[in-house]
Structure 1
Amino acid sequence: MKKNVLTRYRVMAYVTAVLLIMLTVGVIGKRLLNLDGFDAFVTAVGIAHGWLYVLYLLFAFDLGNKAKMPVGRLLWVLLAGTVPTAAFFVERRVSREVAPLIEKDATPTPAAV
């Protein structure tokens, strides 16, 4: 597996997690605290998170497929973008598990003679 598969998953995990935290704060400000000016913020961040979550799903599925993850673990990775802060923890764990696969593929093998 190539390193860029893990890198693009990690980037999207962080972006999705940060946007979801921003969206959660915006919804709390809009709905619970009734603060003015949060309508446009929640709309913009919600749209951005929605579209980028689709990219996150694609990259996470690609990573899980190439790393041969079990279905249960792959579902947890895919759903991590919907729980605030979960993507940070899941990304760290997945990175630790997948890093040896990248290193194993990166080691050169002697050419057959």
Structure 2
Amino acid sequence: MGAALTRYRVIAWIVGVVLIVLVVIGMPLKYVFDNAVVVETVGPAHGFLYMIYLVAAFDLSRRADWPLKRMLLVMLAGTVPFVSFFAERRVTAWLAAPQVARAPEPVAR
């Protein structure tokens, strides 16, 4: 499951950054300055990357055996600016907690 988590973390950051560029830079340029070049280039890229994000989140959720509600919330995190970063940290914490619980305790000498 480590590789699936790594794939999810990488694509979550990429989708988050691209969405922020689209919303913070592209949208004001389009609607305030009437220049749609950023929206026209970054928008389709975000759409394509979001599809990859959905596949990575689905793969990870199936491997981790999450309930449907958690899987859907994680998938929706890529649609709201800054939320994908928060979701990535939460997902990492959820998956790291069982790892810590199973780790053997050090032997006292």
Q: TM-score, normalised by structure 2?
A: 0.85
Number of the residue aligned with 2:18:
19
Number of the residue aligned with 2:30:
30
Q: Percent identity?
A: 48
- After superposition, the Cα gap between the structure-2 partners of 1:55 and 1:70, relative to the gap in structure 1 and judged at 3 Å, is same
- After superposition, the Cα gap between the structure-2 partners of 1:66 and 1:51, relative to the gap in structure 1 and judged at 3 Å, is same
The structure with higher relative contact order (CA 8 Å, sep 6+) is: 1
Moved over 6 A (4+): 103-107
Instruction: Kindly indicate whether residue 85 of structure 2 is the aligned counterpart of residue 88 of structure 1.
Output: yes
The 2-side partners of 1:82 and 1:101 are apart by 28
Q: Check whether the contact 1:67–1:101 (CA below 8 A) recurs between aligned residues.
A: no
Query: CA-to-partner distance for each residue in 1:65-101, whole Å, 9 max, x for gaps?
Result: 1101111111000000000110000110000111245
Instruction: Kindly indicate whether residue 64 of structure 2 is the aligned counterpart of residue 67 of structure 1.
Output: yes
- After superposition, the Cα gap between the structure-2 partners of 1:103 and 1:75, relative to the gap in structure 1 and judged at 3 Å, is same
Q: How many residues align?
A: 103
Alpha-carbon RMSD: 2.0
Structure 1 unmatched ranges of 5 or more: 108-113
The 2-side partners of 1:106 and 1:51 are apart by 38
Q: TM-score, normalised by structure 1?
A: 0.82
